[in-house]
Amino acid sequence: MSSQKPAQFTEFTNPNLEVMFSAEQIRARVSELGRQITANYTGRDLVLVGVLKGSVIFLSDLMREIDLNLKIDFMAVSSYKDETVSSGDVEILKDLTHSIRGKDVIVVEDIIDTGLTLFRLMEILGSRGANSLKIATLLDKPEPRIKTELVIDYCGFRIPNRFVVGYGLDAANRYRNLPFIGVVKDPGMV
């Protein structure tokens, strides 16, 4: 792990990070999403399914903005990132703990890029008898999208094609704890 930032900076004021969305902006937007979901799911059997690990901070904030008697569960899947599109299925590294049959499910993601991983995950979950299956993502990066047919029901922010970190999102498993979302200016310093 390199640490080339000058000594007067902390991780949260790292000069190699440019803030895209502040903690306050994220809080306000997540609160809006929570209100929308509350209104849409009143009287229904809601389960939030977080996709590990990137969604954990978004999910934990979002669930506290949803004024309903909901449940949560998690999945972990391998990513297509280093593979070609036709190279095969996503691998389920960790499956749900409870059945989603008859439930109203919202899959909670950190960011949707090509959409390949989430598209396959939605196919897998789509075969499990849920009453409804929707997507909530904090960030939507539409430019690199391959699975353009993916419908995003709840989206925090639409962003340009930049590599972002913080608020759950990592670079080489670091930066997840940043309270804001930022862009790494010099990837060589990650």
Residues that bind ligand 5GP (CB under 6 A): 54, 79-80, 109-118, 141, 163-165, 169-171
CB of 130 to ligand 5GP, least distance (A): 21
CA-based torsion, 116, 64, 20, 174: positive or negative: negative
Whole-angstrom distance, CA of residue 178 vs CA of residue 3: 16
**CB closer to ligand 5GP, 34 vs 182:** 182
| Residue 47 or 116 having the CB closest to ligand 5GP | 116
Quick check: is 67 catalytic? no
Q: Give 38 or 114: the residue with its C-beta nearer to ligand 5GP.
A: 114
Question: Rounded to the nearest whole angstrom, what is the least distance from the CB of residue 145 to ligand 5GP in the complex?
Answer: 8
* Shortest Å distance, C-beta 101 to ligand 5GP: 26
Which amino acid, one-letter code, is at 32? E
CA gap 182, 171 in Å, rounded: 11
Q: Which residues contact 179 (CB under 8 A, 6 or more apart)?
A: 12, 23, 166, 167
8 or 173, CB closer to ligand 5GP? 173
To the nearest 10 degrees (0 to 180), the angle between helices 23-41 and 56-63 is 60
- Among 167, 148, 146, CA closest to 157: 167
Name the active-site residue from 61, 104, 113, 140: 113
Least distance CB 139 / ligand 5GP (angstroms): 7
Annotated catalytic residues are 113
